Amino acid sequence: MSGSIADNPYRASGIVAAVAAGGEITAFDDAWKNYNDVDTTTTMTVPTTKNYFLIGPVSVTSSAVWTISGLLRII
């Protein structure tokens, strides 16, 4: 995965979400990963031209609101 937190509008708690970063595991010591806690109000827009998913569980905590515009599958 490439990019940085500052380059990526899809993040929660300052952690880049794998759903926005794309995925290609190129090192033996790496694995698919995504955040598991949304503690900041955020909006994720999922374009209809892409398939997006998270591997869960994902908790929304504190007074945060997680708005998802589009189809996101959590498996």
pLDDT at 72: 86
Q: Which two tokens stand for residue 68?
A: 């998802």
Residue with tokens 């959590």: 74
pLDDT at 37: 92
18/22 Cα distance (integer angstroms): 6
Model confidence band, residue 34 (pLDDT cutoffs 50, 70, 90): confident
For the entire predicted model, the pTM comes to 0.56
Q: Does the pLDDT of residue 17 top 70, yes or no?
A: no
Number of domains in the chain: 1
Expressed as residue numbers, the domain containing 50 is 5-74
Q: Where are the alpha helices (DSSP H) in the chain?
A: 18-21
